[in-house]
Amino acid sequence: MLDPTSPPDLSNASVDGASPPLPLELRGLVYETGGKRLIDNIDARIEERGITVIMGPNGAGKSVLLRLMHGLIPPSRGEILWAGRRADRELARRQAMVFQKPVLLRRSAAGNIWHALGLRGIDWSERPARVEEALRLAGLERLAAVPARTLSGGEQQRLCLVRALSLEPEILFLDEPTASLDPASTLLIERLLIKAQRQGIKVIVVTHDVGQARRLAQDVIFLHHGRVIEHGPAKVFFDQPRSEAGRAFIAGGLVL
Amino acid sequence: MTWMMNRRTLFGLGLCAALIAATSPRLVAADDKFIIVQSTTSTQNSGLFEHILPIFTKKTGIDVRVVAVGTGQALKNAENGDGDVVFVHSKPDEEKFVADGWGVKRYDVMYNDFIIVGPAADPAQVAGVKDAAQAFKKIAEAKAPFASRADDSGTNKAELKLWHDAGIDAKASSGSWYLETGSGMGATLNTAVGKQAYTLTDRGTWLSFANKDDLKVLVEGDPHLFNQYGVILVNPTKHPNVKAKEGQAFIDWLIGSEGQAAIASYKIDGEQLFFPNAAPPS
Amino acid sequence: MPDLIEAFHTALRLIATLDPGLIEIVVLSLQVSLLAVILASLIGFPLGGALAVYRFPGRGAVTAILNALMGLPPVVAGLAIYLLLSNAGPLGVLQLLYTPTAMIAAQMLLVVPIVGALTRQYCEDLLEEYDEQLRSLGASPREVTATLLWDGRYRLLTAVLAGFGRAIAEVGAVMIVGGNIDHVTRTMTTAIALETSKGNIALALALGLVLLATAFAVNGALMGVRRFALRLAYA
């Protein structure tokens, strides 16, 4: 589980021994549906351990790309390889995802985490400890028995994040996790993501918020019309974006 | 873990378990001694069974469960072996039942009579007519509404025989003045009341029928309206599940002096409904 | 009109004096219908849930059939069970004809499609919200089904209620397989049919009023549970 007491660390190196199955390779990836091509022949390679942020204007295909990576939807053409392997059930168990809108069951906050641990086959004896730690991490200990769906938006999303983390994933996907949240919750979630990365989890976040990207990213993929326009270190992208679309996006303009 | 299996859930589950335990009815009553008698709705509606069966059960400890349907259905059920004794009132069908091997032996038990009832206004003017077939003829000629059970029952068969004797094809007028209800006697009487129609009914059902409105007894006493009841033991060689011993005990009691006396003692408003006529023991 | 007034008086008198004849048929009606509904739900819940979650060839046809069976005429259900349990039928050796067990079986035939079809609909609705998250968590179809059923537990009560309403009100099925035997298989509905055929309209109406009251009571209890659930955002 995460260690909340370790000091802030700006290096890329991981503290814990987690070794996610990198590099993630996308080869000739195409996704079409309803006659529209949403992902248009993407070739990419993600190998570094820092947080990767996928950015782009609305409709660029960011959410679709994330779901393809996580295996929620099958590609129309192309391949997705993790350290040279195709995704299978075993590999899928090492991943977790947080969605834009929090999805919680009609149970208590703690019950939701308990249920997820059950799906992963975590032993009954281990679960109470993991649930407690997860709630503490999210600052939700006092709300453990509260019906999860009555929590505020920020509390719900924090719960979804620590639920994902309680599964001890090696890859963590997030789709616009703080899009409709208050700043305090946003801050807490970003802190948790940084901590997660430091403990060796490969975090891949989709966001359209440039500020958030600046705060989190070590690696940036800029998407537009279903194609990768730019992919490189965050510093490079933000200081000297190579593409016109990238420049316009960072400047806050509308990118058509 | 209070948030996992909290008290509310436990209470709910406990309630369900208690409910299931409390609602286990006597599912298969194999313990008590009982027989199933296939009989007719008219006999049941007359109230005869409520009167005589307790006497038999008290004496023998055998519970008598009556399934009351139309005569045709009663005989069919018995053919399927879904009864131990058949107690109906349609002699030709009963004799065929025995001849076909489904029943052991047929015994006369009692008789009552049929009567023709109709609206007080009596449009066909049959009141007091002595010949039942003649009365039917008049009803047909007047095209006065007539409610028929049309359900293959003993009463229905008697009615059809009267049309036959009168030389009338009543079924040809089905839907106009001849109303085929396809129901039991009570339902047919309700229809007769509602449509101000004539109908043939057994006196037993008539006397205990509570919805007479302005229907009246118009024709009675014709020997052709004589309604004979018979009792038969379902053949145990065809259906081994038949409780032959208890069934025969019931038949013996019914045709014996005690049963016959019980039948005779059943009265509604002081009037006797059924007249025992079992053959004396030889 | 006079019948209706007399019916009210009779109904009140029967209830107030706790008439043993009335108690007997009310208790039997509740025993048969409640047990039938509970057992039918144990079948209908997983059936409906699986139908919503699993993809297999012919899924559409099975769904259509289940929906259509919601309208199965009670008398047909009764006939089907009768043919099975009759001594001339395949299960005659069980000697279950004309017993409350046969009545429960016949009513289950009526209630399983109702609970199953409604469960399927509720689960499909829930699946729209939960599908991606559950797949992300790695849930197998069986686990998804179990999750949906527990999650929708309060909504599923409505399906149970619908099933119970059907069972307690029907007469065709229990009449054929039960035989309306006094003190053994006589329920409220078969008693009403009997009294009507005897012309005892007022008594039949009175029994009808008691039947309505019983149905309202069960309904009220379950709706109370639902309202409690709503407050907790569990509905």
Residues B195-249 pLDDT 10s? 999 999 988 888 888 889 889 999 998 888 988 999 999 999 999 999 999 999 9
Whether residue B212 and residue C34 make contact (CB cut-off 8 A), yes or no, is: no
CA distances from B51 to A212, B65, B251, B261, C169 (A): 91, 14, 16, 12, 30
Per the CB < 8 A criterion, the answer to whether A112 and A134 are in contact is no
* B38 strand-pairing partners: B67, B86
pLDDT at C69 over 70: yes
Q: Name subunits touching C (3+ CB pairs < 8 A).
A: A, B
Per the CB < 8 A criterion, the answer to whether A131 and A208 are in contact is no
Q: Which residues of chain B neighbour C198 with C-beta distances below 8 Å?
A: 45, 186, 208-210
Q: What is the mean pLDDT of residues C23-27?
A: 92
- B24 touches C: beta carbon within 8 Å: yes
Mutation for B interface: C82, C198, C226, most B CBs within 10 A: C198
- C17 touches A: beta carbon within 8 Å: no
Whether residue A96 and residue C234 make contact (CB cut-off 8 A), yes or no, is: no
pLDDT in tens, C49-62: 999 999 999 999 99
Q: Which residues of chain B neighbour A145 with C-beta distances below 8 Å?
A: 2-3, 6
Whether residue A116 and residue C129 make contact (CB cut-off 8 A), yes or no, is: no
Residues B46 and B178 both lie in one domain: no
Instruction: Return the closest-CA partner of residue B139 out of B166, B164, B103.
Output: B166
Whether residue B23 and residue C179 make contact (CB cut-off 8 A), yes or no, is: no
CA distances from C230 to A96, A247, C45 (A): 31, 50, 21
* A206 strand-pairing partners: A54, A175
Per the CB < 8 A criterion, the answer to whether B179 and B16 are in contact is no
* A204 strand-pairing partners: A52, A173
Residues B136 and B190 both lie in one domain: yes
Whether residue B29 and residue C99 make contact (CB cut-off 8 A), yes or no, is: yes
Whether residue A105 and residue C151 make contact (CB cut-off 8 A), yes or no, is: yes
In the prediction, which pLDDT does B21 show? 55
Cα distance between residue A146 and residue B95, in whole Å: 77
Per the CB < 8 A criterion, the answer to whether A173 and A98 are in contact is yes
The count of residues in chain C is 235
Whether residue A107 and residue B1 make contact (CB cut-off 8 A), yes or no, is: no
Whether residue B2 and residue A114 make contact (CB cut-off 8 A), yes or no, is: no
In the prediction, which pLDDT does A1 show? 45
- C75 touches B: beta carbon within 8 Å: no
In the prediction, which pLDDT does B24 show? 58
Q: Which two tokens stand for residue C15?
A: 């209830």
Residue ranges of domains in chain A: 24-251
Q: Which residues of chain C neighbour A149 with C-beta distances below 8 Å?
A: 233
Whether residue C151 and residue A103 make contact (CB cut-off 8 A), yes or no, is: no
* B29 — pLDDT class (breaks 50, 70, 90): very low
Q: Which residues of chain B neighbour A107 with C-beta distances below 8 Å?
A: 3
CB atoms under 10 Å from CB of A16, counted, come to: 15
Per the CB < 8 A criterion, the answer to whether C177 and C103 are in contact is yes
Smallest Cα distance from B207 to chain C, Å? 10
In the prediction, which pLDDT does B27 show? 46
Residues B220 and B234 both lie in one domain: no
Smallest Cα distance from A117 to chain C, Å? 9
Q: Which range among B59-63, B88-92, B202-206, C84-88 shows the weakest confidence by mean pLDDT?
A: B202-206
| Partner residue opposite C31 with nearest CB, options B25, B50, B82 | B25
φ/ψ (deg, to 5) at A161: -65, -50
| CB burial readout B222-246, b (16+ within 10 A) else e | beebebbbbbbbbbbebbeebbbeb
In the prediction, which pLDDT does B31 show? 57
Cα distance between residue B238 and residue B234, in whole Å: 8
Q: Which two tokens stand for residue C131?
A: 């599908």
Pairing of strands B85-88, B226-234: antiparallel
* B264 — pLDDT class (breaks 50, 70, 90): very high
Number of A/B CB contacts below 8 angstroms equals 15
Smallest Cα distance from B175 to chain C, Å? 22
Cα distance between residue C103 and residue B23, in whole Å: 14
- C3 touches A: beta carbon within 8 Å: no
What is the overall mean pLDDT for chain B?
88
Q: Which residues of chain A neighbour C152 with C-beta distances below 8 Å?
A: 106
Mutation for B interface: A105, A107, A108, most B CBs within 10 A: A108
Q: Which residues of chain C neighbour A116 with C-beta distances below 8 Å?
A: 137
Q: Which residues of chain A neighbour B2 with C-beta distances below 8 Å?
A: 145
- C20: preceding bond cis by omega (within 30 degrees): no
| Partner residue opposite C197 with nearest CB, options B26, B45, B212 | B45
Instruction: Return the closest-CA partner of residue B189 out of C207, C198, C194.
Output: C198
- Roughly how many angstroms between the first and final C-alpha of chain B, as a whole number? 82
Whether residue B3 and residue A128 make contact (CB cut-off 8 A), yes or no, is: no
* B282 — pLDDT class (breaks 50, 70, 90): low
Q: Which two tokens stand for residue C74?
A: 């009670």
Q: Which amino acid is at B71?
A: T
Instruction: Return the closest-CA partner of residue C205 out of C197, C213, C196.
Output: C196
Q: Fold for C2-231, please state it.
A: MetI-like fold (1.10.3720)
* B112 strand-pairing partners: B227
In the prediction, which pLDDT does B1 show? 38
In the prediction, which pLDDT does B184 show? 83
* Total of domains in chain B: 2
* A36 strand-pairing partners: A33
In the prediction, which pLDDT does C171 show? 96
Q: Is B24 domain-assigned?
A: no
CA distances from C121 to A166, A197, C167 (A): 32, 42, 21
- B3 touches A: beta carbon within 8 Å: yes
The share of chain C scoring above pLDDT 90, in percent, equals 71
Whether residue A111 and residue B4 make contact (CB cut-off 8 A), yes or no, is: yes
In the prediction, which pLDDT does A4 show? 45
Per the CB < 8 A criterion, the answer to whether C14 and C206 are in contact is yes
When computed from its CA atoms, the radius of gyration of chain C, rounded to whole angstroms, is: 20
Q: Is B98 domain-assigned?
A: yes
* B4 strand-pairing partners: none
| Partner residue opposite B23 with nearest CB, options C35, C181, C200 | C35
| Burial (Cβ within 10 Å: 0-12, 13-18, ≥19) of residue B128 | exposed
Q: Is B101 domain-assigned?
A: yes
Smallest Cα distance from C98 to chain B, Å? 8
pLDDT in tens, A178-234: 998 999 999 999 999 999 999 999 999 999 889 999 999 999 999 999 999 999 999
3-state secondary structure of A37: strand
pLDDT at A11 over 60: no
pLDDT at B48 over 80: yes
Of all residues in chain B, the one with the smallest CA distance to C193 is B187
Q: Which residues of chain A neighbour B7 with C-beta distances below 8 Å?
A: none
Residue with tokens 């053409």: A77
Q: Provide CB contacts within 8 A for C27, sequence distance 6+.
A: none
- B7 touches A: beta carbon within 8 Å: no
In the prediction, which pLDDT does B3 show? 42
Whether residue B1 and residue A128 make contact (CB cut-off 8 A), yes or no, is: yes
φ/ψ (deg, to 5) at A47: -125, -15
pLDDT at C101 over 50: yes
Q: Which two tokens stand for residue B17?
A: 């378990």
In the prediction, which pLDDT does A5 show? 43
Q: Which two tokens stand for residue B172?
A: 């040809």
Residue A147 is classified by DSSP as B
Of all residues in chain A, the one with the smallest CA distance to B6 is A145
Smallest Cα distance from A111 to chain B, Å? 6
Residues B240 and B270 both lie in one domain: yes
Residues B155 and B209 both lie in one domain: yes
Number of B/C CB contacts below 8 angstroms equals 95
Q: Which amino acid is at C54?
A: Y
pLDDT at A6 over 70: no
Cα distance between residue B103 and residue B97, in whole Å: 6
Residues B209 and B187 both lie in one domain: yes
- A115 touches C: beta carbon within 8 Å: yes
What is the overall mean pLDDT for chain C?
92
Mutation for C interface: A63, A64, A70, A103, most C CBs within 10 A: A103
- Residue B45 maps to which CATH number? 3.40.190.10
Cα distance between residue C211 and residue C220, in whole Å: 14
Cα distance between residue C77 and residue B131, in whole Å: 45
Of all residues in chain A, the one with the smallest CA distance to C232 is A147
pLDDT at A150 over 90: yes
Whether residue C197 and residue B186 make contact (CB cut-off 8 A), yes or no, is: yes
Range of the domain at B184: 113-225
Q: Which residues of chain B neighbour C35 with C-beta distances below 8 Å?
A: 20, 23-25
Tell the CATH superfamily of the A24-251 domain. Answer: P-loop containing nucleotide triphosphate hydrolases (3.40.50.300)
Q: How far is CA C34 from the centre of its chain?
A: 7
Residue scoring higher pLDDT (B136 or C201):
B136
- C83 touches B: beta carbon within 8 Å: no
Q: Provide CB contacts within 8 A for B184, sequence distance 6+.
A: B41, B42, B45, B70, B149, B151, B153, C197
| Partner residue opposite B241 with nearest CB, options C95, C101, C194 | C95
* A12 — pLDDT class (breaks 50, 70, 90): very low
Whether residue B3 and residue A111 make contact (CB cut-off 8 A), yes or no, is: yes
